[in-house]
Amino acid sequence: MKHSMLIIQLFKNNFKKIVLLFIISLFSLLLYNIVLPYMNGFYIDELTYKININTAIKTIIWLALLNFLGITISFLQTYSLNYINTKIAISINTKLIEHLHKCPLKYTRQFNPTFLTEQINNDSNIITNYYIGIATQGTVGLIIFITTILILSKFSLLICLFFLLSIPLYLLIYYLFKKSLYTSSLKLKNEQSNFFSEINQQMSDIKSIKLNSWFSEYRKNMTKAYSNFFNFVVKFINISTLSTSVNALLLSIVNLITLLIGGIEVINNKITIGELTIIITYINSLVGSFQYFIEQAKNYQTTKVSVDRLENHLKVPLENNGEIKLDHIDYIQLENVSFQYDGKVIIENLSYMFEKGKVYGIIGRNGMGKSTLINLICGIFQDYTGHISYNNLPIEELNLYEIRKKVFGVAEQNQIQFRTDLITSIKFGNNEPDESLLSGMLKGFHLVDKIELESKDSDLSGGELQKSSIIRALLKDPQVLILDEPTSMMDKNGYNYLISIINEIKTNKIIILITHDNSLKFECDEILDLEEQFLLVQQQ
């Protein structure tokens, strides 16, 4: 789905609210840009030519009522605008994140998470503010602009023609600055994302900075990131300020010439003083409206940067996910599977069969592809050569999302820390957990006291966090159980309990253990040594 289609869909979902905002904006601008200026001019003429205290009081009362109405409408407009902007921006954020969840992992891994988060959030808000502004205030502004031109021509055709002739000058200024504004905005946004990424890194690494006394080294990194960001800020400010200043100069010239022409027409009795006041206010309103359109044209360049950046994400094809669902897996087969990452061969010509009823140990030194193999088995990495199948069905034809959710149970080496209490994090993703099984595992892993204290994941030790991750995987009663370094931080009691569970459940499951633990290898029925396999392939 293209970004433009995404925007259209989101606007459709909020169509009624946008129409309401349009109506409120229309009343607000009509009141402030046309009605009140006209009433003010009428009041001045009443004082100048028809000194009548009753009429003056009535006019003041009307002005007071209109101003109160204007304040009320402005409040509703501001509230509605912020409400709709926030809702649509969050929707765009959500759509982008959901899309990236299902993009190939290779794509998302190339970005720093903080960079990506800051980029998506900022761009979503910029796009929303721009398009909502155009759809409501922009459209209303155009209506008011045309209406004001028509009314102005009735007061003074000469001033009206002069203003219309000045419009090409505004357009020329926009054209001259268009390309430089876009380029500087793009560079600034990307560097801003990098800068916030560096700030996040500084905050994330506080413990390591203290342990290694890396204060000066990290200060240098921060200074470098700030210096790069600041240089782009200065360049953008220079271009933007110059553009704004040239526009302001033109506005001053237009106002001065309007005063000159208007003054002459008052002297010649072609218009009244009140009408001149109305004309000056209308001219400023017209210039303001036109400046708004020019500003939106300038903003289009910066918004286009945001559109392009988000559209680049949305153009990334989703990873393959077939339609065939499985409720059980008897065996997983790899045939001549090879995989490269950044040009480096990680897995080469691997053939192997994982069968139900056995415990498999995957071993090998770091960098030999143990975690990569698990990602291939689970269908996370899809740009491999060879064949991978479950029950003799190619994984390309299988609904891997459904299978991983219901048939696979995976405890990763680097466990996710949920921002919830421990029991909620253990049950995460499992709508109907077996409470008796959960209770037994909590006792077996000695985590009951943590539950009673309502501990959060962030309060757990590494070993306790590892246990909770294993419980989460086991609680699914999966057909395929994959544990990545399950005993690396496990105490003796936890180790013994885990082994007892594995031996108890292995009859009806495929259990795969990635491990460096020599004692755990003896619990495996088969060992797949990736280092040995790699050397064998090289010899062949």
- Per-residue model confidence as pLDDT tens digits over 496-532: 999 999 999 999 999 999 988 888 888 999 999 988 7
Cα–Cα distances in angstroms (integers) from residue 177 to residues 138, 297, 385, in the given order: 21, 11, 50
Tell me what pLDDT residue 352 has.
94
Determine the 3-state secondary structure of 341 from DSSP: strand
**Angle at alpha carbon of residue 334, lines to 328 and 335, rounded to 5°:** 140
Q: Which residue has the tokens 């007892």?
A: 500
Tokens read off for 376: 């291939």
So what's the pLDDT on residue 524?
A: 93
pLDDT score for 474: 93
Residue 316 DSSP code:
S
Task: Indicate the length of the chain as a whole number.
Answer: 540
> By the 8 A CB rule, do 122 and 185 touch?
no
Q: d(Cα 450, Cα 458) in Å, to the nearest integer?
A: 12
In tens, the pLDDT along 180-209 reads 887 888 888 788 878 887 887 888 788 677
Confidence category of residue 326, pLDDT binned at 50, 70, 90: very high
- 148 has a pLDDT exceeding 60: yes
Report, as an integer, the average pLDDT of 168-179: 81
Whether the CB-CB separation of 344 and 357 falls below 8 Å is answered with no
Structural contact between residues 298 and 177, judged by C-beta atoms closer than 8 angstroms:
yes
User: For position 358, what pLDDT does the model report?
Assistant: 95
| Site of tokens 């959030």 | 121
Q: What residue type is assigned to position 257 of the chain?
A: I
Three-state secondary structure call for residue 387? strand
Does 482 have pLDDT greater than 60?
A: yes
Angle at alpha carbon of residue 489, lines to 485 and 490, rounded to 5°: 95
Kindly indicate the confidence band of residue 1, based on its pLDDT and cuts at 50, 70 and 90. Answer: very low
* Section 318-335 average pLDDT: 93
Q: Residue 539: which pLDDT band, with cuts at 50, 70 and 90?
A: low
Return the ∠ at Cα 134 (arms to 174 and 13), rounded to 5°.
150
Region 239-257 average pLDDT: 84
Residue 410 in this model has a pLDDT that exceeds 80: yes
367: pLDDT strictly greater than 80: no
Q: What angle do CA 296, 302, 308 make, to 5 degrees?
A: 125
Distance CA 25, CA 140 (A): 7
> Is a pLDDT exceeding 50 seen at residue 112?
yes
Going edge to edge, which strands form the sheet with 393-394? 344-355, 331-341, 385-390, 393-394
Higher pLDDT, 290 or 435: 435
**Residue 456, beta-bridge partner list:** 421
pLDDT at 287: 79
Helix (H) or strand (E) segment spanning residue 529: strand 526-529
> How large is the average pLDDT for residues 80-87?
87
pLDDT higher for 107 or 453?
A: 107
Q: So what's the pLDDT on residue 51? A: 64
Lowest mean pLDDT among 237-246, 282-291, 512-521: 282-291
CA distances to 195, 203, 221 from 215, rounded to whole Å, are: 18, 12, 10
Q: Is the pLDDT of residue 417 over 80?
A: no
What is residue 335's predicted lDDT score, i.e. its pLDDT? 95
**Least confident segment among 139-153, 354-368, 454-468:** 454-468
The mean pLDDT value of the chain amounts to: 85
* Highest mean pLDDT of the ranges 16-20, 136-140, 392-396: 392-396
pLDDT over threshold 50, residue 20: yes
The reported pLDDT for the residue numbered 4 is 62
Across 55-69, 244-258, 395-409, the highest mean pLDDT is recorded for 395-409
pLDDT score of 3: 46
In this prediction the pTM is: 0.74
The yes-or-no verdict on residue 378 having pLDDT over 80 is yes
What is the percentage of the chain residues whose pLDDT exceeds 90?
A: 22
Average pLDDT over every residue of 480-495: 90
Q: Name the percent of the chain in helix, strand, coil, to the closest 5.
A: 70, 10, 20
Q: Is the pLDDT of residue 364 over 50?
A: yes
Chain-centre distance of CA 497, in angstroms? Answer: 43
Distance from chain centroid for Cα 214: 32
| Range in 258-267, 428-437, 450-459 the model is least confident about | 450-459
SS3 398: strand
CA Rg, the chain, in Å? Answer: 34
**Averaged over 421-448, what is the pLDDT?**
86
Q: How is residue 392 written in tokens?
A: 């003799």
CA proximity to 214, closest of 227, 201, 225, 226: 201
